[in-house]
Amino acid sequence: MFNSKKTLAVLLFMVLVIASCSSKADDSALLDALDDAEEALEEAEEARDEAIDALEDATDALEEATDALEDATSTTEATTTTETETETETETTTTTEAPECTGDALPDGITLDPSEANEGDVDGDSNVDQIWATTVDEGSSSFTAYLVVLMGDSEDRYHVIEIGGGLMPEAGAWASHDIDDNGAVEVWLSIPDVRRTVPGGLAVFSDCALTLVTNSETGYRWVLRGSDSYTPMPPFYRSACQIIEGTTVYSQVKSDLEDSGDMDSEWTLDISPFRLEGTEMVPATELVTIPEGALSGTFSSFNDAFDYAADYGFEESSCS
């Protein structure tokens, strides 16, 4: 409004100057000039009012947009907080602890000498377990061998499994190494044998129980001589262990007479390599090359056959 008055004053001053400078101007010219000045002033005021209205509309729109943004931000934060709380509640309610394994009763006739125990973490709990292979005299020169493990986190929780039978009161069990990288060591076994060779096998701790590893090809548990395979001149077995390309390979090495029972016959050699997969031994022929002629060669004694196998790396070992 100040600017409008200022403009009007300037226009009136100009009109007066013009009127005073021109003595010949008449009244009608002066009136026309005044009308033009008034119209110009009205147009300027209208333009000013329109600008003020536009500014007010823009201010209102900005305030509405700001309010909408604040509402949206508050809703998003509330939703995120609710989702986080829900996830936290779910994690808390679904956490469970694995049940503790129960032990086995010791079979009658078993006595355990702590000084004769071997050691190893059989169940993978980072505690050192005590390991025994012990036999029970069944009479008539017959013995049953058992694997017994005392868990290192307890003084009386034993796990027991029968590992075989034989005619001699010897058996062996000692920790191997962690073949399958699951945190627990396997147990390497030997059972009584009338020929004093070392039939081998493996036991693992799986699902709260000791389990004898089986041979996937034959279906028998992987103890090299079954109790039903005895003959007057049974085959001789030994076990070999190699680590090839980071994989532990166990091999059954068997020496047998071509004509069972005939001492004048030649001895043959059979080598079967296996690797551990879960609780089974599966063929590992892709990792092991059987010496040419080994399976078809003949030898004058079973020891000669075993020596031949050992020369090619198939020698008795626990891979520890």
Q: At residue 111, does pLDDT exceed 50?
A: yes
d(CA 213, CA 223): 8
pLDDT at 132: 94
**Most distant CA pair in the chain: distance in Å?**
162
User: What's the whole-number mean pLDDT along residues 292-308?
Assistant: 82
pLDDT at 20: 57
Task: Supply the pLDDT for residue 227.
Answer: 44
- Categorize the per-residue pLDDT at 164 as very low, low, confident or very high, splitting at 50, 70 and 90: confident
| More reliable by pLDDT, 62 or 263 | 62
User: What does the pLDDT read at residue 280?
Assistant: 87
- Residues sharing a CB contact under 8 Å with residue 224, sequence separation 6 or more, in sequence order: 199, 200, 201, 237, 238, 239, 252, 254
Better pLDDT: 20 or 14: 14
- Statement: residue 131 has pLDDT above 80: yes
Per-residue pLDDT at 127 exceeds 90: yes
Output 316 or 194, whichever has higher pLDDT. Answer: 316
In sequence order, the 6+-apart residues with CB closer than 8 A to the CB of 38 are none
Three-point CA angle 123, 126, 131, nearest 5°? 50
Instruction: Return d(Cα 176, Cα 191) in angstroms, integer.
Output: 16
| Cβ–Cβ under 8 Å, residues 131 and 186 | no
- Average pLDDT of the chain is 76
Q: What is the CA radius of gyration of the chain?
A: 50
pLDDT at 219: 64
Percentage with pLDDT > 70 across the chain = 70
pLDDT band at 275 (very low <50, low <70, confident <90, very high): confident
Does pLDDT of 129 surpass 90? yes
Give the type of residue at 184.
Answer: A
pLDDT band at 93, cuts 50/70/90?
very low
Strand partners, 257: 267
pTM: 0.57
For residues 149 and 249, which has the higher predicted lDDT (pLDDT)?
Answer: 149
> Taking 90 as the threshold, does the pLDDT of residue 177 lie above it?
no
* Top-confidence range, 17-31, 74-88, 116-130: 116-130
| pLDDT higher than threshold 90 for residue 158 | yes
pLDDT band per the 50, 70, 90 thresholds, residue 142: confident
Q: What is the pLDDT of residue 258?
A: 77
Mapping DSSP onto H, E and C, the string for the chain reads CHHHHHHHHHHHHHHHHHHHHCCCCCHHHHHHHHHHHHHHHHHHHHHHHHHHHHHHHHHHHHHHHHHHHHHHHHHHHHHHHHHHHHHHHHHHHHCCCCCCCCCCCCCCCCCCCHHHCEEECCCCCCCCEEEEEEEEEEECCEEEEEEEEECCCCCCCEEEEEEEEECCCCCEEEECCCCCCCCCCCEEEECCCCCCCCCEEEEEEECCEEEECEECCCCCECCCCCCCCCCCCCCEEEEEEEEECCEEEEEEEEEEECCCCCCCCCEEEEEEEEEEECCEEEECCCCCCCCCCCCCCEECCHHHHHHHHHHCCCCCCCCC
